[in-house]
Structure formats: structure tokens, C-alpha cells
């Protein structure tokens, strides 16, 4: 399993030699500042004639230092005229010209990239002018325990307006106002959003891919199927090539027409490892016990496609989940965009790193679905914030151009963002700590899990939630 994103030669991030922070900002360079005081007024809207020089009175903070001795074509010409035409130096002169031409092209590319970044900066500053959404986002981010099922339920209900869940009317959705629902919904902007008319095709494709994106969970278990809180009906079984163990196909039966499917198969190399692959979004509210796993699949898939677009080699960032979910581990999650559909693999079979408390690892194993679900939920909301800011002005093409760099930015932003760190810490402490509201949440999950899922009695299942 390849989880070493940086060491495998497939790292696709771009390091811009453009300095966006100066020492005058007094901010660490790795901290993404979404909410800075608005003190730098970006000039007119028309930046198409941007020349790369923002070092005027209004942009002292944007110290554009490419680290290169950039040469414009005019400069090249002046250099050319001032150069001696000595025939003995012709070869070296040609070499110099090629180098200058290369630097000139590089200069143009850097200008374009800088222009895009300035556009994004301007949008972020414009976003500050309407502080309410940001406030809501912050409040939502710090809500004790937002229920991640909202994404799954609402998203699918919007997609299928004819569907009326049997849970409707009793749903917890009704307890939230629409603003909270929108804030909690870690979705990419809707297709029919008037602000996104220019990017509907890309959005549509993304949505379709998200529906097809898969999350695979590897876990050691003697049980035939992991307990995830949903009700499943087996509809097929096939012998897969290269594996003596049959692959079983299940579909969700908690609501008629629920498109969620899962495949269960034992690993050919180690038959104690159970590989469960989830696909699709539920079109109905889920019991708390099922939310974690379902939000894991949905959020992971969404994050996979919103925060990190596939690279050309099919491997995106195998460390993204691992480093954000489990900073102490580097081999628990793999993201692959190889055909046919992008897949997030959560490997829960790894032993805890040396030095990690054993009791913590045991609890982590038992509570992983909750931790993963909550963490990915918060995380995807954060990356969703970035995405929504960009897509609000119909700049999906810009995202595409910046996707490679955006991946690195997203990773940095997620891992360094204090909100995410706090949310992750809160999610873990609320589940494991057992104190205060978080403890009651954990107990609720345990109780619901015990009461639901009558046909899955996997006592030795590692996914069974255990009371402390």
C-alpha cells in the first residue's frame, strides 16, 4: 500500500516562487489567512493587464519576489544589442539566448499564476465584506457535534425530488434552520446555483463522479461483514479474478430506491482482512450509528474530488487523509483516482505507531468510523469553504488550473487551520473522552448501534462500538 506521497515521485504540487507573505504580515508562511482584516484594497476589477508589479502604495504587502532575474522581451533585446558580436562567442551567445527565452516563458507563466492568485485574493477580500456567512461557518465549525448525515440526506433528496423518505417529518433536519443546513452541508455548490452558471458542466461532472466515487475500508475482522449501522440486502455474489474468496454485493434497504451499494470481500493475501467498498450517497436520513461510516464515504469522496483533483498518474495524494486524520500515522489512507472510479482506501489494519498508547489505539480502532466521519466531515467543510469561494464567481476553470497547487494548499490549509485542528481534537475528545456533551454523543452512538442492525451480530467485529 502506497501511502508515502512525497517519496514515490508522484508528488504533483507546485511550489510557486511567489512570496505572498512578507515579514510585515507577522504571520507564519504556512498559515492560510481567510479572515484577515481588510486593509489592502485591491484596485479595479480589470486585472487582465496585470504586469506583475504590485509593489505600489496599495500593495506593499504583496511583495512579488519570484526569486528569478526575470527578463522581459524588451530587456532581452537591449541585452542583445549591447552584446558583442564576437564570432568566437556565438555559440555561448546562442546558449544564452535560449536560456533567456526559457526564462521569459517562465516569467510569463509566473505572471499568469500570480494573476490568478491575485484574483483569488480579491475574492477572499470581497468575501470578508459579508461577514455573516463566515460567522456562520465558524459557528458551524465549532458546533458541539453537527450531524454529518445532512449532506447525505439533503443532497440526495434534492437530486430526487420525487423521493419521500419514510423518516420524513421525524428527521433531525427539521430541527435545523435552512442556514444551518446549508452550512452543514459539505457539498460542492449545486448545479442550479445561479452563481455557478458558467461552471455547471464541470460541476455536473464532479457530482456524477462523486456519486461514483468509492471508499474502501480494510479492517481485520473474522465477521462476514462490518457493522456500519445500515441495513443491507445481499443481491449477488461473484468469484472475482485473482481472489479465492467470493465478493458479495449488498444494497441499502433502509429506504426504497437508496442507491448506496457496498461490496464485501476478503483480502486474498490475508483472509482475516475484510475489504468493504462503499459507493453512492444515501437518499434517506441515517441512524447515528450509520452516520459515521456514511459520512466517511461521502465526505471522503467529496474531499477527494473537491480538494484534490486526480493527477495524471492516477495517484492523488496518498497522505492527505492519513496526515490529516492521523498525524502520527502515515500509512492508513490511500487515495487513488485510477480507473474506473476514484477510490479512497482507509486501511484500518495497520498497527499503531511505536510510542502511541495502546489503550488509545484500541479505542481508536473501535471508534474509527466516528472519528473518521467527524474528521472528514469537518475537513471537507473546510475544503468546501475554499471551493465555494472560488466557484461563487464561476471560476471552476481557475480551480482546474490551480488544482495541482490547490492540492498542496488544501493539505497545508487543512493541517494548519486551527479550526480543523480544534474540530478534530474536539471530535476525538468528545468520543473518547466520554465527558460532557461529547460523552453523551458517544453513548448515543453506542446505544443506537446496539439497538439497530438486527441482522449483523458481529461480536468480534472491530467496528462494533464499545463502551468504555
Measured distance between the N- and C-terminal CA atoms of the chain, rounded to whole angstroms: 32
Given the rule CB under 7 A, which of 28-36, 248-256, 330-338, 443-451 is the region that contacts DNA? 248-256
Q: Which long-range contacts (CB under 8 A, 24 or more apart) does 53-59 make?
A: 54/118
Return the residue of 82, 340, 355, 418 that touches DNA, per CB under 7 A: 340
Is 235 a residue that touches DNA (CB under 7 A)? Answer: yes
Alpha carbons 425 and 458: distance in angstroms, whole number: 29
Local structure of 261: helix, strand or coil: strand
Given the rule CB under 7 A, which of 38-46, 236-244, 317-325, 411-419 is the region that contacts DNA? 236-244
89 vs 160 by CB, closer to DNA = 160
* Residue 408: how many other CB atoms lie within 10 Å: 17
Alpha carbons 230 and 253: distance in angstroms, whole number: 8
Given the rule CB under 7 A, which of 2-10, 85-93, 229-237, 436-444 is the region that contacts DNA? 229-237
Return the residue of 339, 355, 358, 460 that touches DNA, per CB under 7 A: 339
Is 237 a residue that touches DNA (CB under 7 A)? Answer: yes
Return the residue of 58, 92, 192, 253 that touches DNA, per CB under 7 A: 253
118 vs 264 by CB, closer to DNA = 264
Q: How far is the CB of 223 from DNA (least distance, A)?
A: 13
Return the residue of 15, 51, 178, 455 that touches DNA, per CB under 7 A: 455
Return the residue of 38, 47, 135, 233 that touches DNA, per CB under 7 A: 233
Q: How far is the CB of 307 from DNA (least distance, A)?
A: 25
- Do 306 and 380 touch, CB atoms closer than 8 A? yes
- Do 124 and 394 touch, CB atoms closer than 8 A? no
Alpha carbons 130 and 132: distance in angstroms, whole number: 6
Handedness of CA 42, 44, 48, 51 (dihedral sign): negative
**Quick one: 339 exposed, middle or buried, by C-beta within 10 A (0-12, 13-18, 19+)?**
exposed
Binding mask 27-66 for DNA (x = CB under 7 A): ----------------------------------------
Q: How far is the CB of 242 from DNA (least distance, A)?
A: 7
Alpha carbons 468 and 463: distance in angstroms, whole number: 15
**Quick one: 250 exposed, middle or buried, by C-beta within 10 A (0-12, 13-18, 19+)?**
buried
Is 244 a residue that touches DNA (CB under 7 A)? Answer: no
Alpha carbons 227 and 431: distance in angstroms, whole number: 18
Alpha carbons 123 and 117: distance in angstroms, whole number: 10
Cβ-count burial 120-158 (b if 16+ within 10 Å, e if not): bebbbeebeeeeeeeeebeebbeeebbbbbbbbbbbbbe
350 vs 452 by CB, closer to DNA = 452
Given the rule CB under 7 A, which of 120-128, 197-205, 243-251, 378-386 is the region that contacts DNA? 243-251
> Rounded to the nearest 5 degrees, what angle is found at the Cα of 136, between the Cα atoms of 135 and 139?
85
Q: Which contiguous run of DSSP H or E holds residue 363? A: helix 358-391
Phi, psi (degrees; rounded to nearest 5) at 265: -150, 145
47 vs 271 by CB, closer to DNA = 271
Is 314 a residue that touches DNA (CB under 7 A)? Answer: no
Is 247 a residue that touches DNA (CB under 7 A)? Answer: yes
Interacting positions 395-454 with DNA (CB under 7 A): none
Return the residue of 261, 389, 415, 440 that touches DNA, per CB under 7 A: 261
Is 268 a residue that touches DNA (CB under 7 A)? Answer: no
Return the residue of 28, 169, 242, 418 that touches DNA, per CB under 7 A: 242
Handedness of CA 149, 190, 121, 327 (dihedral sign): positive
Phi, psi (degrees; rounded to nearest 5) at 248: -100, 145
Given the rule CB under 7 A, which of 44-52, 115-123, 228-236, 301-309 is the region that contacts DNA? 228-236
229 vs 384 by CB, closer to DNA = 229
Is 249 a residue that touches DNA (CB under 7 A)? Answer: yes
Alpha carbons 174 and 164: distance in angstroms, whole number: 14
Given the rule CB under 7 A, which of 159-167, 237-245, 266-274, 425-433 is the region that contacts DNA? 237-245
Alpha carbons 61 and 25: distance in angstroms, whole number: 7
230 vs 423 by CB, closer to DNA = 230
Binding mask 179-218 for DNA (x = CB under 7 A): ----------------------------------------
Q: How far is the CB of 239 from DNA (least distance, A)?
A: 7
Chain contacts with DNA (rule: CB under 7 A): 231-242, 247-249, 253, 261, 263, 339-340, 455
Amino acid at each position: 500500500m502506497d501511502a508515502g506521497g512525497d517519496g514515490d515521485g508522484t508528488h504533483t504540487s507546485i511550489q510557486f516562487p511567489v512570496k505572498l507573505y512578507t515579514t510585515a504580515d507577522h504571520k507564519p508562511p504556512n498559515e492560510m489567512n481567510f479572515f484577515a482584516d481588510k486593509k489592502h484594497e485591491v484596485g479595479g476589477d480589470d486585472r487582465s493587464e496585470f504586469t506583475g508589479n504590485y509593489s505600489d502604495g496599495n500593495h506593499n504587502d504583496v511583495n512579488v519576489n519570484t526569486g528569478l532575474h526575470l527578463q522581459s522581451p524588451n530587456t532581452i533585446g537591449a541585452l542583445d544589442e549591447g552584446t558583442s558580436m564576437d564570432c568566437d562567442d556565438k555559440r555561448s551567445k546562442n546558449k544564452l539566448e535560449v536560456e533567456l527565452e526559457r526564462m521569459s516563458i517562465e516569467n510569463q507563466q509566473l505572471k499568469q499564476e500570480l494573476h490568478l492568485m491575485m484574483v483569488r485574493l480579491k475574492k477572499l477580500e470581497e468575501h470578508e465584506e459579508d461577514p455573516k456567512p463566515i460567522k456562520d461557518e465558524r459557528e458551524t465549525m465549532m458546533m458541539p457535534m453537527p450531524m454529518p448525515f445532512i449532506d447525505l440526506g439533503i443532497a440526495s433528496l434534492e437530486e430526487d425530488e420525487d423521493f419521500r423518505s419514510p423518516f420524513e417529518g421525524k428527521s433531525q433536519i427539521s430541527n435545523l434552520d435552512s442556514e444551518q443546513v446549508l452550512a452543514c452541508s459539505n457539498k460542492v455548490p449545486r448545479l442550479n446555483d445561479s452563481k455557478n452558471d458558467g461552471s455547471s458542466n464541470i460541476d455536473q461532472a464532479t457530482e456524477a463522479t462523486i456519486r461514483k466515487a468509492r471508499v474502501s475500508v480494510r479492517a481485520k475482522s473474522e465477521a462476514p461483514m462490518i457493522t456500519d449501522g445500515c441495513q443491507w440486502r445481499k443481491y449477488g455474489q461473484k468469484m472475482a479474478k485473482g481472489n479465492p474468496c467470493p465478493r458479495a454485493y449488498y444494497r441499502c434497504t433502509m429506504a426504497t430506491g437508496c442507491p448506496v451499494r457496498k461490496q464485501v470481500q476478503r483480502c486474498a493475501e490475508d483472509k482475516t482482512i475484510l475489504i468493504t467498498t462503499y459507493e453512492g450517497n444515501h437518499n434517506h436520513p441515517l441512524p447515528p450509528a450509520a452516520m459515521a461510516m456514511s459520512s466517511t464515504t461521502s465526505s471522503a469522496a467529496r474531499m477527494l474530488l473537491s480538494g484534490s483533483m486526480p493527477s495524471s498518474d492516477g495517484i492523488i495524494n496518498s497522505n492527505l487523509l492519513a496526515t490529516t486524520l492521523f498525524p502520527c500515522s502515515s500509512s492508513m489512507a490511500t487515495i487513488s483516482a485510477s480507473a474506473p472510479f476514484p477510490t479512497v482506501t482507509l486501511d484500518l489494519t495497520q498497527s499503531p505507531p511505536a510510542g502511541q498508547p495502546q489503550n488509545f489505539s484500541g479505542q481508536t480502532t473501535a471508534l474509527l468510523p466516528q472519528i473518521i466521519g467527524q474528521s472528514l466531515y469537518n475537513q471537507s467543510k473546510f475544503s468546501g469553504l475554499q471551493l465555494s469561494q472560488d466557484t461563487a464567481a464561476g471560476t471552476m476553470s481557475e480551480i482546474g488550473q490551480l488544482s495541482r497547487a490547490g492540492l498542496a494548499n488544501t493539505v497545508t490549509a487543512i493541517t494548519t487551520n486551527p479550526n480543523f485542528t480544534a474540530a478534530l481534537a474536539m471530535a476525538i475528545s468528545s468520543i473518547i473522552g466520554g465527558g460532557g456533551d461529547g460523552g453523551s454523543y458517544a453513548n448515543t452512538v453506542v446505544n443506537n448501534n446496539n439497538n439497530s442492525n438486527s441482522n449483523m451480530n458481529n461480536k468480534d467485529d472491530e467496528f462494533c462500538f464499545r463502551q468504555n
